[in-house]
Amino acid sequence: MLWFSAARFLLRPGAADVLREPSRPAAISIGAGLGLLSGLTGTGGGIFLTPLLLLMGWARTKTAAAVSALFILVNSASGLLGNLASTRQLPPLALMLALAVVVGGAAGSHFGSRRFPHTVIKRLLAIVLLVAGAKLIFTR
């Protein structure tokens, strides 16, 4: 699924964003399915959420990127808090990684919202999806 989405974003990055709102039952069901898929694969849900939002026409490119960034932040914070609750200590690289996240997030937010057109964002997303798909296939 990740590679299919990547191919779509590489081959047709300029496809128009046609917006339509999902029904509440569909959104809840799909959200639950994404949670299950993320748990089964050990992958953050954002990697599935972003392409879904775009392919289903539920969000524009930059909106999908912003929603996914917030989703990933909340998931990461939850995972870190869960780790902290069970180990009573932060991982050794936590502060260094937090600094990298802040710097990378600030740069990505700036370029994504002010510099890059949506076609560039879709191509970058395609690269991330290809890497994530390869990781799922070749590291299991």
- pLDDT by residue (tens digit) across 25-76? 999 999 888 888 887 877 777 888 999 999 889 998 889 988 888 888 887 7
Q: What is residue 24's predicted lDDT score, i.e. its pLDDT? A: 93
* 29: its two tokens: 């069901």
Give residue 90's pLDDT band: very low, low, confident or very high (50, 70, 90).
confident
Rounded Cα distance between 54 and 66, Å, is: 12
The whole-number pLDDT of residue 87 equals 92
Task: Extract the tokens encoding 52.
Answer: 């879904």
pLDDT one-digit tens code per residue, 99-133: 999 999 899 989 998 999 989 999 999 999 999 99
φ and ψ of 20, to 5 deg:
-145, 140
Identify the sign of the CA torsion 132, 14, 115, 55.
Answer: negative
pLDDT computed for residue 140 by the predictor: 66
Q: Are 77 and 105 in contact (CB under 8 A)?
A: no
